[in-house]
Amino acid sequence: MVELSKYFWDRSGENVPRDVVPEFTEWMFYKTHRVTTGKMAVSEMNEAPDGITVQIENGIYEFYIRGVAYENDKRISRVRFVKKGSSPVLGEKIGETYSDLAQNSFYEPDLLLNFFNEDDEKYQDWIEDIMFSYEGVFYVTTHEEKKDIKFYRFEAGFGDGEFDVYKLKEDEHTVGFEIEFIKDDEPYIFWEDVVQEE
C-alpha cells in the first residue's frame, strides 16, 4: 500500500516524454473531519462559501487522495470526502468546480456564514491573507479565532481548469462526494521532447 506522506516526496517533473503512461495509485488516506452543519462544499477558495454544496449527515468523514505518476511527475487525480465506515459507489455528476489558483478547497459553508455574519469586508480580508499561502500538495488552513473553520486545500491536477464533482452513494444515501482533477484517459500536458545524446 502506498503511503501518502511518502508518495509526493519525489515529483520533479523533469524530462517527462510525450508518450508517458500514467500510473494511478489506490486511494490513500489523508485526514478525518467531523461535519457539524450537515453540509460540505468544494470550490476555489475565493469562491467560498458559494461552492458546490452537498447535504450530508453529521458525523465523522474521511479524506482520500488518488495520485497519478507520469514518470517522476506526481499529481493528485482525485479527492474523495466520504463518511467513515461506508462503502460508496460513484453517483451522479452534480456540477463542476474550477480553479485559477491551481488548487481547490473543501469546507463547511455554514461555519463561514455564521462566523462572519455577512461581514463581507472582514471575510474578504481573511481570504486575501491566506489565499496565496502555499504549504504543499495538500494542507489545512484553520481560522486563528474559530478553530473549527477549516479549508482543506488540494493541488488541482495539472493546475487551472474545470473539474467534475460527483456524489458518493451507499444504498441510495449520499455519503460524500468526489472531485476529479485528472481523468483516467487524460494525456500528460507538460511533456518534453527528450533529445538523446549521441
Q: Which residues are 165's β-sheet partners?
A: 95, 179
End-to-end CA distance of the chain: 40
Buried b (16+ CB within 10 A) or exposed e, 13-49: eeebeeebebeebebbebbebebebebbbbbbbebbb
Q: Are 98 and 162 in contact (CB under 8 A)?
A: yes
Statement: residue 196 has pLDDT above 50: no
Strand order in the sheet with 52-55: 52-55, 39-43, 103-107, 150-155, 138-142
Residue with the larger pLDDT of the pair 18 and 26: 26
179 — phi, psi (to 5°)? -115, 135
Residue with the larger pLDDT of the pair 113 and 86: 86
pLDDT of residue 91: 96
**CA-wise closest residue to 151 among 81, 48, 80, 76:** 48
> Cα(87)–Cα(8) distance, rounded to whole angstroms?
27
Q: Are 181 and 79 in contact (CB under 8 A)?
A: yes
Query: How many residues does the structure list for the chain?
Result: 198
pLDDT of residue 143: 85
Express each pLDDT in 31-84 by its tens digit: 999 999 999 999 988 888 888 999 999 999 999 999 999 988 999 999 999 999
> 127: Cβ–Cβ under 8 A, 6 or more apart, which residues?
45, 46, 48
> Cα(109)–Cα(80) distance, rounded to whole angstroms?
18
**CA-wise closest residue to 10 among 66, 65, 74, 75:** 74
Express each pLDDT in 147-187 by its tens digit: 888 999 999 999 999 999 999 999 999 999 999 999 998 88
Give percent of the chain with pLDDT exceeding 70.
95
Confidence of residue 20 (pLDDT cuts 50, 70, 90): confident
Express each pLDDT in 100-112 by its tens digit: 888 999 999 999 8
